[in-house]
Structure formats: C-alpha cells, structure tokens
Structure 1
Amino acid sequence: MRKLGLIGGMSWLSTRTYYEHINRLVQARAGQRASAPLLIESLDYSNLQRLSTAEEWKHAASVLSDSARRLEAAGATALLIGANAMHKVYGEVASSVSIPIIHIAECVAARMAAKGVKKAALIGTRNVMVESFYRQKLIARDIELLPPEMAFVETLDRIIYDELLVGKASRQSERELKTILTNLEQDGAEAVVLGCTELEMIVDVDANVLPIYDCTRIHAEAAVDWIMGEG
C-alpha cells in the first residue's frame, strides 16, 4: 500500500473522521487486520479559521505549504487537505510539492457527474458557499448549482463555527439543517453537497429527503483508491 499524507487539525474532529473513514475502507478492501499507512500533521486551527483578508489567506497558504513539504519529505506519496475551505489555497499548496494533492471538490464533482446529477445545492461555510473556488469544480462537470441564499449562509456559518468546530451537535441545529434541506429540495435541488467536513455530525447522510454527497466520505474513498494503487 502507498503511504498517504493528511494535513489535518482543521478541525481535529474532521481529522478523526478522515482517519476512521480511511481505515475502515482499507480494512474492507485489504482485510480486517489491515490499517492505512498514513502520515498526519495536525495544524493549530485557532489561527486558520474565519479568514477574510488577502493577507490572512496568504498566511494560510504558507502554513499549509510548509506542512505539505514536511509530509512529502517524510515519505508521503500523495496528500489530502482535510478541510473544504482550505482548498481555496489548493493551487499554492499543490505547487509547493512534487506529489499529487487529491482535491476534495474534484472528487465530489466526479461522483455526482457519474450519478447523473444535473442540479444541486452546496452547503458549508460562507466562503465555500459564496466564493467560486469550490463551486467552479462542480460547474465544470455541468452541474448547475442553486445560488446561495444568504439566510442559509448565515445560519450554516454560525452552526459550523460556533458549534460543530468545538464538538457541539445540538438538536436545534439538526432541526435547522433539516429545514434547510427541505427548502433546497423545494427549490429544485436533486442533491446536496456537504461542503464542510463537520456537517455529518448533524446530518443523517444515509437517510434524508435528498441524496447527500458527503465530501469527507468521498474524499476518503479517493484517498483509499490511491493507497491501494487504484488512483
């Protein structure tokens, strides 16, 4: 199996989810005694969240690029960035190393295109929902995205940063998410992309009013394809 590097800690809850998904998938393919060969660098997320200015994003790109170089030097043959929002600096990080970085939105877009999804909604943090760096990967696969509704953006941003990133999953937030998903279905969405790795804490991915494309699971599956030599 090939060794994979994970840039994590954004949040550590997300990193835990990646670790579990990847190892369960490796077990399913390679046997119950198998475990994934991983290198994980967990970053301090306190200085990397709710970024807004160009200078802040430049700093984030530098931090992630340094991490990517360390993981490459330690023997990783490919990398994951364990956060959706940080893919805003994907280009800068990818150019800092000579090994591939598996892009989360490209994995999700490929899966949706293969399933024939033509119209979807993207939910996550403010910059994932509103900016183009994530949305363009889906649009490039001829997937029409509903325009972000600012009321939903504000609600999701609050839930993610004030609750999920500190490990809190409340019934109230579950209800709010269910209402948002119902509204998105009424607006014509055929599917919903969970563009935040922590959202699965309050969304039942396997039992919902709409097909849910869980970015973390899909990203982890692509990672295991690489580990097993199939990617």
Structure 2
Amino acid sequence: MKRIGLLGGMSWESSLEYYRLLNEMVKNRLGGFHSAECTLASVDFGPVSEMMKSNDWKGIERVLSAAAIDLKRAGADFLIICTNTMHLLAREIEGASGLEVLEIGKAVGEEIERRGLETVGLLGTRFTMERAYYKDTLAGFGINVIVPSAEEMVVVDMIIFEELCKGIFREESKSVYKAVIKGLQINGAEGVILGCTEIPLLIKESDADIAVFDTTAIHARAAVDHALA
C-alpha cells in the first residue's frame, strides 16, 4: 500500500471527513483490521484564509508547498490536497514538493464521464466558482460547467466561510443551497458538483433532483484506488 499524504486543515472539518473515508474505504477493500497508510499535514487555516481575502496566492503557495515538502520527508508516496480551492495551486505544490498531486478535478471529471453527463453545475468558494480550474479540467472530458449568478456566488461563499468551515450547519442555509441547485438545474445542469469539501457536510444526494457529486468522497476513493494499485 502506498502512503497517502494529506494536505489538510482547510478546514479541519472536511479533513476529518477525508480521514474517516480513507480508512473506511481501505477497510472495506481489504477487510479485517486494515486501515489507510497516511500522513496528515494540517495547516493553520487562520493565516491562510486571511491571505485568500487579500489575494496573496504566492503566500498561500509558500505555506502549502512547505507542508507538502514535510509530507514527502515523512514518507508520503503521493499527495492529496484536502480542499477544492487550493487545487488552483496544484501544479506549483507538486513542483515544489516533488510529490505527485492526485487532483480532485480529474477524479470528479472521471466520475461525471462515467455517469454520462454533459453539463454540470458547480458550487464552491468564490475562487473555485470564478476561476477556470474546474471549467478547464472538465473541458478535457467534454463536460460543460455552469455556475450560479454573481449574487448567488456571494451567498454560497459566505455560507462556506461563515458557517461550514466553523462546523455550523443550518437548515436555512441548506434551503439556500437547494434553491441555487434548482436554478442550476433550470439552466441546464444535469448534475451538481459540491466543489467545496465542506458542502457535502450540509448537502446530501437526497437534497437535489439531479445527480450530486460529493468531491470529498470521490477524491478519497481515487486516493484509495491509487494507494492500492
């Protein structure tokens, strides 16, 4: 089994879910008392979130690259970044650390392709929804990505940072997300990507009338497949 390096803490709420999923999946695959060989580098999200607000992506790159280098020194064979947004820096982190980054976007693209969908909606942080990472990555699979309106993006982003990253899960916020998903469906989405690893803690498949792609679970499954290959 390859050792999985987890670059987490952004937020620790979703990093906890990654750890649970990785170990459950390995146990289900191998049986008995088997669990995942993994090492976690959990960064302090406080300074990172401030750098996000000021668009200091070079600063974020330095912090995450240093943590990734620590994971390589600790014996990780490859790396998963336990957040969608920071995949904007995947290539830089991979280059700095020398560790292969198993990308969340590619894992999600493979799953959407397997399901045979052509157009999907995307929810996530403002950075994830506005920037080209998912659109460019999924274009390689022939998949079109649509996003909420600018006004909806503000609300979706606010709920992530003010609630979900702090472990706050409100029914009112679930209703807001369900309405945004319904709008994406009306605009042609056949499925929706929960493109922030905290969103699946609030929104489940039963909350939508279209296919729901839980990026945390999809990414964890890809990591286990890679570790056991």
**TM-score of the alignment, normalized to the shorter chain, above 0.5:** yes
Between the aligned partners of 1:15 and 1:147, the Cα distance in structure 2 is: 25
Could you tell me which residue of structure 1 aligns to residue 218 of structure 2? 218
Show CA shifts across 1:165-206 (max 9, x none).
Answer: 100000100111111111211111000001000001211135
Name the counterpart of 1:34.
Answer: 34
How far apart, CA to CA, are the structure 1 residues paired with 2:147 and 2:22?
32
Task: Give me the whole-angstrom Cα distance separating, in 1, the residues matched to 2:226 and 2:140.
Answer: 23
TM-score between the two structures when normalised by the length of structure 2: 0.95
Distance 1:96 1:90 in 2: 10
If each structure's helix is expressed as a fraction of its own residues, which one has the higher value?
2
Aligned to 2:182, the other structure's residue is in SS state helix
**TM-score normalised according to structure 1 size:** 0.95
Structure 2 counterpart of 1:16: 16
Give the root-mean-square deviation of aligned CA atoms: 1.3
**Partner deviation per Cα, 1:43-87 (whole Å, 9 max, x = no partner):** 000011261555x10011111111111111111000011111111
Superposed, 1:33-182 pairs within 5 Å as 33-49=33-49, 51-53=52-54, 56-182=56-182
The separation in 1 between residues aligned to 2:219 and 2:117, in whole angstroms, is 18
Task: Write the distance in 1 (CA, Å) between the matches of 2:156 and 2:143.
Answer: 22
Q: Is the 8 A contact 1:177 1:202 kept in 2?
A: no
Distance in structure 2 (CA, Å) of the matches to 1:149 and 1:108: 23
Q: Does 1:188 align with 2:166?
A: no
In the TM superposition, what whole-angstrom CA distance separates every residue of 1:110-149 from its partner, at most 9, and x where no partner exists? Answer: 1111221101111100010011123211122111112441
Q: For 2:75 and 2:223, locate their aligned partners in 1 and report how far apart those are by CA, in whole Å.
A: 16
Report % sequence identity: 32
Dislocated runs of 4+, deviation >2 Å: 205-208
Distance in 1 (alpha carbons) for counterparts of 2:161 and 2:218: 23
Q: Which amino acid in 1 is paired with 2:154?
A: E
**Structure 2 Cα separation of the partners of residues 30 and 111 of structure 1:** 23
**Structure 1 unaligned residues grouped into runs of 5+:** none
